[in-house]
Amino acid sequence: MLNSGMASGEETGFRATLSKDEISWLNAHPVIRFTGDPDYAPVEFTDAQGQYRGMGSDYLGLVAARLGIRFEKVAVNSFYEALKQVRDGQADLLPVVAETQQRNQYLLFTAPYLRFPAAVITARQDVENWSLEALRTMKIAVVHGYNWEDWLTHEYPDVDLVQAPDIQTALMSTSFGLADVMIGDIATTTYFIGKTNIANLRVVHQLEQNLKISMAVRSDLPMLRSLLDKSLANISEEEKRAIAKTWIRLEPPAWWKNPTFQRVAWFVLGALGFVILATLTWNRALARKVRLRTLALEEAHQRLIQSAKLESVGRLAAGVAHEVKNPLAILQMGVDFLAADIQPGSDAADVVKDMEDAIHRADVIIKGLLDFSRDKNLAMRKTDLNEVLRDSLKLVNYEMNHHNIIVEEALSLELPAINADPDKLKQVFINLFMNAIQAMGRDGKLMVASESRRLKKEAGKGANATGKFGPGDRVIVIKVEDTGPGIDPAKVGQVFDPFFTTKPVGQGTGLGLSVSRTIVELHGGVISLRNRDGGGASVVLMFKIA
């Protein structure tokens, strides 16, 4: 929409030169509807925001300022639709149009206010000194339906035309050598050369033939045509040059806008980016491998230290056990002798009973020390771990019933057999079951599950951390979980240490889990403990399938 202030009272400026009839007509028609080609840049076009732009818009703005009226745009999708809108009375004015005999039937044209010479555009370097007759031997690109196609067909009926649907396609055909030259008006061709940055095209000649642009109104608006003529004639040469300078630029595009340069630059940048990305990825992978290898070495070093410590503790424990066991046997015989001569229910009988309990507790500790220190030889044979689990559960069945604990089994029916010492593993499972029973007290649930699976890249921490398993290994996984209170998170990492216990003084040696870990590791497996999200403890054992 193009606006101008409305004059009132005494007319000033350009309106002062108009007749009373013209002033009266303008006052009666303050809004003029116009339409035009939405894609004829830079002469006229509709931009991305739907605004009317181009040379025609600038001239229309000067006319609006002189006449003191407002121009209102009627939107269309094509120039032919614009012609139809005016012909049907839906619009009053076409700001940019060339006069033809057919259009004279329903339009009144102003004097031409724009003239564009025909420009000869080429990418060839040998088209310098030539004549119009040379066109007969060339392939000439033109926009189908434009005036230049009609002129060439009339003047040179045997010319070889390369018809394009639009200006940009015609320019690209010439740029890529599909046509020798392109002929079009200098305004639109040079505008699209600058817009598309086609660096190898140049204007080599301007023909005498011109495209004459006028404004046109409906045939029933002769007063408007007269007012437009007067307004256009009043536009100064300086104003015309300013408009032309804004929209017609003949200077070649900057070298950095050259499409060839841009394609090469993008290719180089893409290749460089790929190299940088590949280098970063390789460095990250290498750093990760180094970090994992360093972690594995540190853990191996810690295992060696721990193994040496346990070996020393084992030798010490064996020595202590043998030295203490004989005195305990003597004490037990003495207590038995005294008990035979003491009257039941007396104070002396209570003292003897406390002595028997203390000797029994010491004997349990001695047996634990012997288990911890004894020879690590295993009686290996083909073993079904499900069968070992069921036998272990039978042995603790009385304790389960006594504490009202429910056992929930989820043992895989397709569990393969492995080479193992079933008696040693039974000792491990019984120890885990008894620990769970003591932790739950009464009215709990013990969950025992087994499965076989193949480890993925993100294998569990307990498997990878020891370095015993890797991605792709087939393993048997056994879970023993309870609904007890769990382990203090600060002490979870100590549960497998020798002599560590959470039981009250006198109720545990702290060797059960340590012995269990030793047995599992002798089988090439791993054992880990964590607290369950829903409460209770979860022990996971993992054995490799050969």
Q: With left for phi above 0 and alpha for psi between -120 and 50, is residue 307 left, alpha or beta?
A: alpha
Spatial separation of the C-alpha atoms in residues 71 and 50, rounded to whole Å = 15
Q: With left for phi above 0 and alpha for psi between -120 and 50, is residue 483 left, alpha or beta?
A: alpha
140 strand-pairing partners:
161, 181
211 strand-pairing partners:
116
Radius of gyration of the chain (CA): 50
Q: Which fold has domain 114-212+249-254?
A: D-Maltodextrin-Binding Protein; domain 2 (3.40.190)
Neighbour-count burial of 201, counting CB atoms closer than 10 A to its CB (0-12 exposed, 13-18 middle, 19+ buried): buried
Farthest CA pair distance, the chain: 151
Closest by CA to 371, choosing from 499, 527, 496, 511, is 511
pTM value is: 0.42
pLDDT at site 325 = 62
Percentage helix, strand, coil for the chain under 3-state DSSP, each rounded to 5? 50, 20, 30
pLDDT at site 467 = 56
pLDDT at site 71 = 94
H or E, element range at 355? helix 347-373
Q: With left for phi above 0 and alpha for psi between -120 and 50, is residue 13 left, alpha or beta?
A: left
Q: Using an 8 Å Cβ cutoff, are 500 and 507 in contact? A: no
Closest by CA to 215, choosing from 98, 371, 81, is 98
Spatial separation of the C-alpha atoms in residues 80 and 89, rounded to whole Å = 14
292-299: Cβ within 8 A, 24+ apart: 295/465, 296/467, 299/465, 299/466, 299/467
Closest by CA to 295, choosing from 102, 464, 58, is 464
- CATH class of segment(s) 258-374: mainly alpha
Spatial separation of the C-alpha atoms in residues 423 and 543, rounded to whole Å = 16
Please state the φ and ψ torsions of residue 394, each to the nearest 5 degrees. -60, -40
Spatial separation of the C-alpha atoms in residues 350 and 337, rounded to whole Å = 15
Q: Using an 8 Å Cβ cutoff, are 4 and 68 in contact? A: yes
pLDDT at site 4 = 57
Distances (CA, A) of 130 to 137, 267, 453: 11, 39, 83
Q: Using an 8 Å Cβ cutoff, are 72 and 33 in contact? A: yes
144: which residues sit within 8 A by CB, 6+ positions away? 163, 164, 165
- CATH class of segment(s) 381-544: alpha beta
Distances (CA, A) of 226 to 107, 115, 233, 264: 13, 20, 11, 56
Strands in 44-46's sheet, in edge-to-edge order, are 39-40, 44-46, 52-53
Per-residue tokens: 58 = 């600038």
H or E, element range at 228? helix 222-234
Residue boundaries of the structural domains of the chain = 114-212+249-254, 258-374, 381-544
Per-residue tokens: 161 = 């035309």
**Each residue's pLDDT expressed in tens, for the chain with a length of 546 residues:** 666 554 444 566 898 999 999 999 999 999 999 999 888 888 999 998 999 999 999 999 999 999 999 999 999 988 889 989 999 999 999 999 888 778 889 999 999 999 888 888 888 877 665 666 777 788 888 877 676 777 788 778 888 888 887 788 888 888 888 888 888 887 788 777 877 777 788 888 777 778 889 999 999 999 999 999 999 999 999 999 999 888 876 554 454 555 566 677 778 888 888 888 888 888 888 888 888 888 777 766 666 666 655 566 656 665 665 566 667 666 766 666 666 667 777 777 777 777 776 776 666 666 665 555 555 577 889 999 999 999 889 888 888 898 999 999 999 988 999 999 988 898 889 889 988 988 888 889 999 999 998 887 654 444 444 457 878 889 999 999 998 888 888 777 767 776 556 555 445 555 678 788 888 888 889 998 888 887 889 999 999 987
Q: Give the Cβ contact number of residue 4 at 10 Å.
A: 17
HEC-encoded secondary structure of 415-453: CCCEEECHHHHHHHHHHHHHHHHHHHCCCCEEEEEEEEE
Spatial separation of the C-alpha atoms in residues 201 and 258, rounded to whole Å = 11
Residue 205 DSSP SS3:
strand
